[in-house]
């Protein structure tokens, strides 16, 4: 039965088919390499988009922040933004400054550090940003470093780093009120830990800074 | 023409398929990091609600059932607690292990329904396996459950008004008992049992029962040496409990946390020189079995209890025990290599002393550390090299690198040591890194020994362990625990990772004697390059990398196998000579503790693998949970829980939570730790305020773009290289065969 079926196929297979098949196998490596180049290109573009976006956004954000500061009200950095600048945070010793965005959404975090908690009444601020873009400098902070927080209402607060914790992402907790610790204000800069890996992990690096009493 | 027309047939499909797969692969890789970034956010606080989000458990506890949670940040307890605690400890020493029963009686002296929690230490190599809750004449046996389930059961029972007891492990040597719904005037007993090995050095044996957790310095603390902020800020709240104000303790009389201790000693030989260096004891009985009790009845839980004894004549140099547990055989072998007395001069060596002069050393610890260091300096010979590093939250290296132990250098070192004052926080990591830095690493170099003098009151164990296991090189790290409550877990693990030993030296006059013992041991020949192999059997032994042994120290091997058989051979070099010993494993005596000791040892290994990065966090957690469930042990992932099935607290009655205060370890200076800050005024702590902690889930902040970038570049390069090569080879082909006629187009 099988032979009967196979026979006519064998016979009908023309010489041209073999050539065609050969041509395909000859062309295959080129196709694979071409695909590799294409995909590689796409990946590189996609990857580079992250730091480039982070940098460009900060430029736009800085402009929006200055406008907000001048106007006293939050100004959106671009018309379709769902987030607005809140403050400018800087670490003078490291020469770093970043515009902090409201709302702790993952989308906002692509543009700058975001405030997970920012409650003036309790004096607690918790910021988060990517360890490989905006909060890359956090690993270089030392105990006793100054951190300045310049809000869009024009006020400026001087914090001083007091401690560093490494906690699991789901085991972090902060005091309800900064006054519980005897401080007038507390700010936490949080980012992923460890710094030298590129994969997501459960640990977070938390730098606590205390408001320096006037 | 035919070729083009035939394209979308089988071959064409294959091409498309390959293209599709590659494209999918690329997309998957590129989105992997993006997804990881987005996911935890979804579980985090709702975007756009910057007000502090409450963790669900806290929120519901406050609204349902009228429960009031009193947070535990109050560092100093000035009022006598409503729930009073009495502890009774009975230790049955048999052979080389001790079975210890700790009974905590929680007595509610108030007219409220109370929940109480108490933080207490246990030997760091102990394995808690039994919990009993005794209510009146009823006994409730504890069961082992994964952490989350046990906590849920406890919370549920608490809300239902049922009595419940929970045993949690915060560190391998720090446990917390919680008991819910103790009625007015009622007493509930919580009894735990654990297994611990006996420490043995050169015929001297000791059992150490830590009785108090010293207030810990949380690394990176605000201000210099601030123990105040330590408890309040994130992450470390589990490790801290309020410290009893000495005034309050005086008012409470001897009634705050009294402990009674009984040791039934049956070491298998006639014990001699039974002594307890920190407590007065009575020794009764004769021959091989003795009973030791505290002379004063009950003592305050403010210093560790230690019992020492030695063997009359020759101590047994071999102990071999076995146990079968769920179809596997477990074995413990304790082998003591012979002590060799050295003839002539010991070879020169390099010693680096690292001394902790942080605030927690204030009181008796600092003088003890100073005296120990001065003694050690005396023993250096001119051919030795040495250096001293001191640290609090700052660090000073006396010399830029190790120098010869000349009279001038020793004199400088002594002046430096005399000038050390206990002040500031504990940042051990930089000092450790500096000590491990080995500038003179050449082959054939002398021994390099790092001696750490500290009370180990700090909490970033992970970073310390990592530093040692990665950078130990040829150095050996010896930990010397100072004070009445040193953090033995950290120090033992650090010494193990540094292939050295851990010694605890107490206070006062004892410190020199202990230091002398250690230094003598370090000068003694060591058994090195130890290996263990089994002939005629197949056994997984832990530790896998055998440590160096100093004179008189036993090698303790724990192993697991399908069927215990064969001959164990331990061999190594002692003072340049080959030494080996054969042990018939079939001769092992039955013991019902071996499997648990093996499991505990394995858990310590998993932890070590976790901290040195050999095992991921999740894998380590899973492994520990499995071990805990399988061997019925309390671990970082498993808790013991006992629940009374009938509710006792009437509906509507309020439940008050109380964290029982701990006594400050004896010799610690209360005013130095707490007083100075209250005096400043700026750090005035409201003692009775009800403060809550807000939990917050932190988003993932790794974009992982570097990984994507690297992968993309790799793909790009590969593709380009491939295309280039193809073009090149086509070119070469055409150059090599110019005579061939080109096929004319159709």
Find, among B588, B582, B526, the residue nearest to B552 by Cα: B526
Q: DSSP secondary-structure letter at B549? A: B
Residue A3 has pLDDT above 60, yes or no: no
The DSSP symbol for B29 reads: H
The pLDDT of residue B692 is 53
Per residue in B364-384, pLDDT (tens digit) is: 778 888 888 888 898 888 888
Residue B84 pairs in a beta bridge with B107
Out of B228, B460, B697, closest to residue A170 by CB = B697
Burial class (CB in 10 A: 0-12, 13-18, 19+), A170: middle
What does the angle CA B558 – CA B563 – CA B565 come to, to the nearest 5 degrees?
75
CB contact residues (below 8 A), chain B span 579-598, against chain A: none
Buried b (16+ CB within 10 A) or exposed e, B100-109: bbbbbbbbbe
Q: Which residues of A touch B708 (CB under 8 A)?
A: 43, 46-47
DSSP code, position B68: B
In this complex, is the C-beta atom of A48 within 8 Å of any C-beta atom belonging to chain B?
Answer: yes
For residue B167, what pLDDT is reported?
A: 92
- Rounded to a whole number of angstroms, the distance from the CA of A52 to the nearest CA of chain B is 11
- Answer whether A182 touches B (CB < 8 Å): yes
Which chain A residue has the Cα nearest residue B686? A180
- The confidence score (pLDDT) of residue B554 equals 79
Helix (H) or strand (E) segment spanning residue B5: helix B2-5
Tokens encoding A29: 């490596």
As a whole number of angstroms, the distance between CA B326 and CA B321 comes to: 17
| A14–chain B nearest CA distance, Å | 12
Could you give the CA distance from residue B193 to residue B475 in angstroms, rounded to a whole number? 38
Structure confidence at residue B622 (pLDDT): 92
Backbone φ and ψ of B530, nearest 5°: -75, 140
pLDDT at A9 over 80: no
* Alpha carbon distance B125, B155 (integer Å): 29
* Residue ranges of A 93-132 with Cβ closer than 8 A to chain B: 102-106, 108-110, 115-119, 122, 124, 126, 128-132
Environment class of residue B246 by beta-carbon count within 10 Å: exposed (0-12), middle (13-18) or buried (19+)? middle
B705-736 helix and A15-71 helix, angle to the nearest 10 degrees: 150
CA dihedral B4, B10, B12, B16 (to 10 degrees): 170
Ranges of H-type helices in B632-704:
670, 676-680
**Does A16 sit within 8 Å of B712, measured CB to CB?**
no
- Of A30, A103, A182, which has the smallest distance from its Cβ to B47's Cβ? A103
Supply the pLDDT for residue B518: 82
Neighbours of B708 (CB within 10 A): 25
pLDDT the model gives residue A105: 61
Burial of B35 (0-12, 13-18, 19+ CB in 10 A): exposed
pLDDT of residue A16: 52
Identify whether the C-beta of residue B478 lies closer than 8 Å to the C-beta of residue B448. no
Answer yes or no: are the C-beta atoms of A211 and A184 closer than 8 Å.
yes
Q: What DSSP assignment string belongs to A63-113?
A: HHHHHHHHHTS---SSTT-S--EEEEEEEGGGTEEEEEESS--HHHHTTS-
HEC sequence for B426-449: CCHHHHHHHHHCCCCCCCCCCEEE
B633 C-beta neighbours (distance < 10 Å), count: 24
Q: Given CB atoms, is B704 within the 8 Å cutoff of chain A?
A: yes
DSSP, collapsed to helix, strand or coil, labels residue B403 as: strand
CB contact under 8 A, A43 and B30: yes
Contact A132/B711, CB-based, under 8 Å?
no
Are the CB atoms for B116 and B183 separated by under 8 Å? no
**Chain A 57-96, residues with CB within 8 Å of chain B CB atoms:** none
**Going by C-beta distance under 8 Å and a sequence separation of 6 or more, which residues neighbour residue B168?**
B147, B150, B175, B176, B178, B634, B639
**Are the beta carbons of B50 and A191 separated by less than 8 Å?**
no
- For the question of an ipTM over 0.85, the answer is no
Q: Can you list the residues of chain B whose pLDDT is less than 70?
A: 1-80, 82, 202, 213-256, 312-317, 339-346, 439-446, 456-462, 484-490, 506-510, 524-526, 544-545, 551-552, 575, 608-614, 659, 661-695, 737-746
What is the distance in angstroms between the Cα of A154 and the nearest Cα belonging to chain B?
A: 20
User: If 0-12 CB within 10 Å is exposed, 13-18 middle and 19+ buried, where does residue A154 land?
Assistant: exposed
Main-chain phi, psi angles of A110, to 5 degrees: -70, -25
Yes or no, beta carbons of B2 and A132 under 8 Å apart: no
Interhelix angle B705-736/B10-43, rounded to 10 degrees, is: 160
Write the residue in B15, B52, B222 that is nearest to A31 by C-beta. B15
Contacts of A43 in chain B (CB under 8 A): 26, 29-30, 708-709, 711-712, 715-716
Cα gap B373→B369, rounded to integer Å? 6
Residue-wise DSSP of A11-40: HH--HHHHHHHHHHHHHHHHHHHHHHHHHH
Residues 6+ apart with CB under 8 A from B586: B564, B565
Test the A interface: residue of B701, B712, B733 with most A CBs within 10 Å: B701
Could you tell me if A204 and B704 are in contact, meaning their C-beta atoms sit under 8 angstroms apart?
no
Between strands B187-197 and B281-284, the pairing is: unpaired
- Which of B23, B460, B709 lies nearest to residue A39, judging by beta carbons? B23
Residue B148's alpha-carbon distances to B62, B118, B178, B299, B385, in angstroms, are 20, 20, 15, 36, 53
Place of tokens 């908690």: A117
Task: Provide the pLDDT for residue B235.
Answer: 38
A·B CB contacts under 8 A: 281
Question: Are A39 and B618 within 8 A, CB to CB?
Answer: no
Chain B CB contacts of A204 under 8 Å are 698, 701
Strands B447-454 and B349-356: parallel
Written as one string, the DSSP assignment of B112-180 is: SEEEEEEEEE--TT-EEEEEEEEETTEEEE-EEEEHHHHHHHHHHHHHHTEEEEEEEEEETTEEEEEEE
Q: Which residues neighbour B157 within 8 Å (Cβ) at sequence distance 6 or greater?
A: B163, B164, B180, B181, B643, B644
Q: Is B287 exposed, middle or buried (0-12, 13-18, 19+ CB in 10 A)?
A: exposed
Of A37, A162, A172, the CB nearest to B234: A172
Yes or no, beta carbons of A175 and B232 under 8 Å apart = yes
Bond into B543 cis (ω within 30): yes
Structure tokens at B108: 């509610």
Nearest CA in chain B to A103: B48
Whether residues A40 and B717 touch (CB distance < 8 A) is answered with yes
CA distance B411 to chain A (A): 34
Residue B455 · residue B303 · CB < 8 Å: no
Residue in A115, A176, A213 nearest the CB of B50:
A115
In this complex, the residue of A106, A118, A133 whose CB is nearest that of residue B41 is A106
Distance from CA of A118 to the nearest CA of B (A): 6
Q: Is the pTM of this model over 0.80?
A: no
Positive/negative CA dihedral, B492, B494, B499, B504:
negative
Report yes or no: B30 at the A interface, CB cutoff 8 Å.
yes
Q: How far is CA B235 from CA A171, B133, B251, in A?
A: 7, 30, 33
């Amino acid at each position: 039965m099988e032979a009967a079926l196979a026979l006519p196929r064998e016979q009908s297979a023309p010489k041209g088919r073999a050539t065609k098949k050969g041509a395909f196998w000859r062309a295959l490596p080129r196709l694979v390499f071409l695909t590799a180049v294409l995909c590689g290109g796409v990946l590189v573009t996609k990857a580079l988009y992250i730091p480039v976006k982070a940098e460009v956004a900060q430029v736009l954000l800085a402009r929006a922040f200055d406008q907000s500061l001048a106007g006293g009200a939050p100004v959106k950095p671009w018309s379709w933004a769902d987030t607005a600048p809140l403050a400018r945070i800087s670490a003078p010793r490291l020469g770093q400054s970043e515009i902090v965005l409201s709302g702790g959404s993952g989308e906002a975090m692509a543009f700058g550090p975001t405030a997970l908690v920012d409650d003036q009444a309790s004096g607690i601020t918790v910021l988060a940003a990517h360890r490989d873009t905006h909060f890359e400098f956090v690993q270089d902070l030392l105990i006793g470093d100054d951190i300045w927080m310049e809000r869009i209402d024009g006020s400026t607060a001087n914090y001083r780093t007091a401690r560093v914790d490494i906690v699991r992402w789901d085991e972090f907790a902060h005091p309800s009120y900064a006054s519980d610790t005897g401080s007038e204000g507390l700010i936490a800069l949080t980012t992923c830990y460890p710094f030298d890996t590129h994969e997501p992990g459960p640990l977070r690096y938390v730098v606590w800074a205390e408001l320096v009493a006037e | 023409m035919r070729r083009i027309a035939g394209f979308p047939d089988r071959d064409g499909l294959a091409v498309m398929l390959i293209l599709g797969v590659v494209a999918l692969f690329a997309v998957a890789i590129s989105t992997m990091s993006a997804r990881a970034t987005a996911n935890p956010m979804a579980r985090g606080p709702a975007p756009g609600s910057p007000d502090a989000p409450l963790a669900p458990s806290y929120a519901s506890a406050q609204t349902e059932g009228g429960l009031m949670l009193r947070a535990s940040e109050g560092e100093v307890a000035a009022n006598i607690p409503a729930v009073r605690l009495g502890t009774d400890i009975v230790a049955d020493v048999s052979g080389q292990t001790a079975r210890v029963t700790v009974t905590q009686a929680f007595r509610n002296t108030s007219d409220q329904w109370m929940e109480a929690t108490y933080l207490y230490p246990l030997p760091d190599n102990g394995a808690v396996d039994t919990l009993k809750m005794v209510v009146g004449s009823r006994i409730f046996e504890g069961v082992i459950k994964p952490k989350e389930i046990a906590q849920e059961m406890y919370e549920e029972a608490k809300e239902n008004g049922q009595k419940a007891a929970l045993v949690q492990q915060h560190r391998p040597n720090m446990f917390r008992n919680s008991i819910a719904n103790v009625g007015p005037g009622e007493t509930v007993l919580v009894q735990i049992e654990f297994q611990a090995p006996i420490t043995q050095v050169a015929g001297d044996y000791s059992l150490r029962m830590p009785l108090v957790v010293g207030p810990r310095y949380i690394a990176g603390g605000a201000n210099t040496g601030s123990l105040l902020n330590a408890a309040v800020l994130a992450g470390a709240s589990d490790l801290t409990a309020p410290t009893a104000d000495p005034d309050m303790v005086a008012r409470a009389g001897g009634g705050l946390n009294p402990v009674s201790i009984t040791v039934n000693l049956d070491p298998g030989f006639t014990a001699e020189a039974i002594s307890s260096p920190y407590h007065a004891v009575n020794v009764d009985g004769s021959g091989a079995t003795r009973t030791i009790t505290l002379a004063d009845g009950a003592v305050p839980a403010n210093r560790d209890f230690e019992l020492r004894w030695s063997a009359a004549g020759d101590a047994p140099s071999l102990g071999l025990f076995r146990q079968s547990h769920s179809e596997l055989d477990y074995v413990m072998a304790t082998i003591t290599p012979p002590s060799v007395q050295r003839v002539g001069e010991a070879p020169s060596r390099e010693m680096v002393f690292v001394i902790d002069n942080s605030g927690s050393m204030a009181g008796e610890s600092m003088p003890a550390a100073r005296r120990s260091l001065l003694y050690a300096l005396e023993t250096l010979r001119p051919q030795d090299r040495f250096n001293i590093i001191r640290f609090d939250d700052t660090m000073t290296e006396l010399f830029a690198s190790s120098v010869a132990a000349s009279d001038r250098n020793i004199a400088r070192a002594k002046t430096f040591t005399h000038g050390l004052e206990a002040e500031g926080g504990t940042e051990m990591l930089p000092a450790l890194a500096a000590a491990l830095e080995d500038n003179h690493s050449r082959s054939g170099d002398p021994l390099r020994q790092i001696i750490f003098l500290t009370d180990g009151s700090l909490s970033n164990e992970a970073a310390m362990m990592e530093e040692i296991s990665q950078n130990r090189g040829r150095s050996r790290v010896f930990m010397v625990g100072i004070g009445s409550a040193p953090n033995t877990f950290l120090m033992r693990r650090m010494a193990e990772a540094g292939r050295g030993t851990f010694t605890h030296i107490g206070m006062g006059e004892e410190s020199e004697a202990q230091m002398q013992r250690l230094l003598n041991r370090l000068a003694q020949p060591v058994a090195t390059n130890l290996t263990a192999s089994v002939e005629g059997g197949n056994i997984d032994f832990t530790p896998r990398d055998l440590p160096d042994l100093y004179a008189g120290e036993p090698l303790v091997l724990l192993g697991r196998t399908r069927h215990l058989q064969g001959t164990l051979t331990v061999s190594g070099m002692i003072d340049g000579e080959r030494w080996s010993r054969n042990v018939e494993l079939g001769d092992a005596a039955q013991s019902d503790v071996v499997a648990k000791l093996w499991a505990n040892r394995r858990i310590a290994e998993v932890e070590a693998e976790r901290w040195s990065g050999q095992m991921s966090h999740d894998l380590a957690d899973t492994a520990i949970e499995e071990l805990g469930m399988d061997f019925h042990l309390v671990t970082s992932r498993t808790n013991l829980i006992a629940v009374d099935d009938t509710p006792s607290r009437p509906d509507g009655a309020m439940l008050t939570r109380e964290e029982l205060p701990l006594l400050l370890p004896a010799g610690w200076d209360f005013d130095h730790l707490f007083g100075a800050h209250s005096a400043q005024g700026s750090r005035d702590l409201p003692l009775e305020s009800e403060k809550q902690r807000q939990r917050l889930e932190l988003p993932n902040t790794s974009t992982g773009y570097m990984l994507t970038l690297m992968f993309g570049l790799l793909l790009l390069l590969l593709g380009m290289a491939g295309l280039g090569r193809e073009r090149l080879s086509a070119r070469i082909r055409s150059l090599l065969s110019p005579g061939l006629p080109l096929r004319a187009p159709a």
